[in-house]
Structure 1
Amino acid sequence: MKQKKLLESIVFFLFLFWIYAAVVKLADISLWRFRLKEQPFDDVFAEPLAWGLPVLEFVIAALMISARTVKWGLYMGAALLVVFSVYIGMIQLNFFSHVPCSCAGIVKSFGWTEHLIFNLVILAVTMYAILRINRMQSGPAPSLVQLS
C-alpha cells in the first residue's frame, strides 16, 4: 500500500510538472515564440513548436489522470525529456555556435549543465514510475494507479 501511495504521489508530481511547463510557455506566448526563433533550427519550426510543445505537455499531463493511460503519459513524458536532454547535450558539446535558452519558469535562471541535470532527474523519476507500474501490473494482483 505504501508503494502505491508513493507511486501515486510521483505521478501527481509529474502531472503538475507537465501542466506547469505548458502554462509557463503559454503565459507569455510571444516571448516563448521569440525565444524559439533564436534557436539554431529553421524559423519555420518556431510557430508549430510554440503551440505544439505546450499542447503536447498538456496531453502528457492529461494521460496521467486515468489508470488506463498513465503509462502512455509517462512514456511520452520520458520521450520528450530524452529529446530535450539530447538537445541540451548537443549544446554542451558545442554542436551549435550559440544557443540562447528558451526556458521559462523555474529553469530560466539555470545554466545548461544545471538544466541537463534537472531534466535527467525528472527523467529518472519518470523511469522509476514506469518501472514500478510495470512491476505492479505484472504481479499476482495487478493494481491500478490513477490520480483521483
Structure 2
Amino acid sequence: MIATFITYIIAATFALLWAYIAVPKLARLKSFGRILGSQAIPKWTVPILTWLIPLLEICAVCLLLFPETMLLGLYFSFGLMLIFTLYVSGIIFQIYDIYPSSSGALFKRMTWRKHLKVNIGLTCIALVGVLMEQFNLFRN
C-alpha cells in the first residue's frame, strides 16, 4: 500500500514537472525554437525538436495520469530525464563547440552543475518509480 502511494507520488511529480515545462514551450513556440537554435544541436533538428520536445513531455503527462499507462509514463519519464541528463553532462564536460543557455524556467537560475545534480536526482527517482511499478517492489 505504501509502495503504491510512493509510486503515485513519483508519477504525479513527473506529471506536474512535464506539464510545468511543456506548456510554456507550446505557448511560446517561436521563442522556444529560437532558444533551441542557440543550443548545441544540429540546426536541421531545431524545427523538429521545437515541436517534438514539448509534445513528448505532454505525452508523458497523459501517460502518467492513468493507472493503466502509468508504468509506460514512468519509463518515458526515465528516458526523457536520461537524455536531458546526458545532454547537460555534455555541456559540463565541454563535448559541444558552443556553451548554450538554459531554456527551462525551472533551471534558468541554476548553474549547469546544479542542473546536472537535479537531473541525476530526477533520473534516479524515475528509475525507482519504474522499478517499484514494474516489479512490484516493496509491496506486501
Could you state the TM-score of these two structures normalised by the residue count of structure 1? 0.85
**May I ask how many residue pairs the two structures share in their alignment?**
140
| Equivalent position of 1:129 in the other structure | 129
| Equivalent position of 2:19 in the other structure | 19
Cα pair 2:132 2:138 within 8 Å, conserved? no
Q: Which amino acid aligns with 2:78?
A: A
Cα pair 1:89 1:116 within 8 Å, conserved? yes
Q: Does 1:104 align with 2:104?
A: yes
Structure 1 distance, partners of 2:128, 2:19, is 20
Give the secondary-structure state (helix, strand or coil) at the position aligned to 2:100. Answer: coil
Structure 2 distance, partners of 1:138, 1:119, is 25
Deviates more, 1:53-62 or 1:25-34: 25-34
Structure 1 distance, partners of 2:8, 2:84, is 25
- Aligned 1:1-148 pairs, distance under 5 A: 1-136=1-136
Cα pair 2:64 2:71 within 8 Å, conserved? yes
Q: Quick one: percent identity of the two aligned structures?
A: 24
CA shift, 1:64, in A, is 0.9
Q: Which runs of 5+ in 1 are unaligned?
A: 141-148
CA shift, 1:7, in A, is 2.0
Q: Which amino acid aligns with 1:120?
A: I
Structure 1 distance, partners of 2:49, 2:101, is 15
Could you state the TM-score of these two structures normalised by the residue count of structure 2? 0.89
Cα pair 1:7 1:132 within 8 Å, conserved? yes
Q: Give the number of the structure whose alpha-carbon radius of gyration is greater.
A: 1
Q: Which ranges of 4 or more aligned residues in structure 1 deviate by more than 4 Å?
A: 137-140
Q: CA RMSD in A?
A: 1.9
Structure 2 distance, partners of 1:98, 1:50, is 19
Q: Which runs of 5+ in 2 are unaligned?
A: none
Structure 2 distance, partners of 1:69, 1:7, is 13
